[in-house]
Amino acid sequence: MDLAPDLAALNALGGFFVLRTTVDPSAGPATALPTLGRAYAGTTADDRDPLADPMGFRVRKVATALRAPEARIAASIAHLGLAARLWSTALGCAVLYGRIPDLDPRLLRWDPDAGAPDDLWLTEVRSLPADASTVADVVVDAHLAPLEALLRTRHGLASGLLRGNAASALAGAVRELDRWARAAGRAEAAARTRALAGELLARPRLAGTGTLEGTAFRRRSCCLYYRVPGGGLCGDCCFTRPPGPSPRAASG
């Protein structure tokens, strides 16, 4: 089955999976939204302007919303959120349609001022195969690699942290798809989801980022969310308790 022009089958999976291909005219000039290609270019003219510096604006918005004590923490959380949307859309289409859309960053518009989940609009639906190699090309090489380069340069985030985020976001999408498939009596869809995830996590940029058993994932890095006021550890964190000074250091 090829892709439907409106990708309507994704709607049943929840907000992280939905990908707009048409825009409600009453919603405003959506064509003015920046593409993700523009966001990855890293223009630094003004991080208060979503058009001049989309990624800088997004990190600033997340930092304000979370009261993050450092921009690098907000950058990691923003990265995790966008990665989750990209993986969810690609995997959702792979499982439901047996094809994926070309998510070329030049075709994918993004509203950096929207809430969560990230608001994405694909301006043209081009059908591609849904094998692991193509999914990795579309998500990892086209999006997560340039985004990683930008955030490492701007915020000094470690490659291991960002690749751990990518793997964590992938595992989260897999859990949601598996849950939906089981509830819908679609055993073949659940099996396809887990198999595709295993292939993707074995690829070079994701290999070694964590361990997937069924749909349970434990990463080997931390996204830094525990450093947000009131934050804690994520369910797949490498830590069992938030890092802090040792009792000896604290008493000294």
**Would you say 117 and 172 are in contact if contact means Cβ atoms under 8 Å apart?**
no
Position 31 scores a pLDDT of: 66
List the pLDDT tens digit at each of the 252 positions of the chain: 789 999 999 999 999 999 999 765 555 555 679 999 999 997 665 666 677 899 999 999 999 999 999 999 999 999 999 999 999 999 999 999 999 999 999 999 999 999 999 999 999 999 999 999 999 999 999 999 999 999 999 999 999 999 999 999 999 999 999 999 999 999 999 999 999 999 999 999 999 999 999 899 999 999 999 999 999 999 999 999 888 653 333 333
The SS3 assignment for 120 reads strand
* Strand-strand pairing, 127-129 and 210-213: unpaired
Position 252 scores a pLDDT of: 33
Q: Which residues of 52-80 are buried (b: 16+ CB within 10 A; e: fewer)?
A: ebbbbbbbbbbbeebebeebbbbbbbbbb
Place of tokens 């069924």: 214
CA 224/CA 97 separation, integer angstroms: 35
**Would you say 42 and 57 are in contact if contact means Cβ atoms under 8 Å apart?**
no
Position 42 scores a pLDDT of: 77
Q: Please choose, from the candidates 251, 252, 222, the residue with its C-alpha nearest in 3D space to the C-alpha of residue 236.
A: 222
Task: Tell me the β-bridge partners of 127.
Answer: 101
Position 248 scores a pLDDT of: 39
**Which amino acid type is present at position 77?**
I
The SS3 assignment for 101 reads strand
Kindly state the tokens that stand for 149: 């380069």
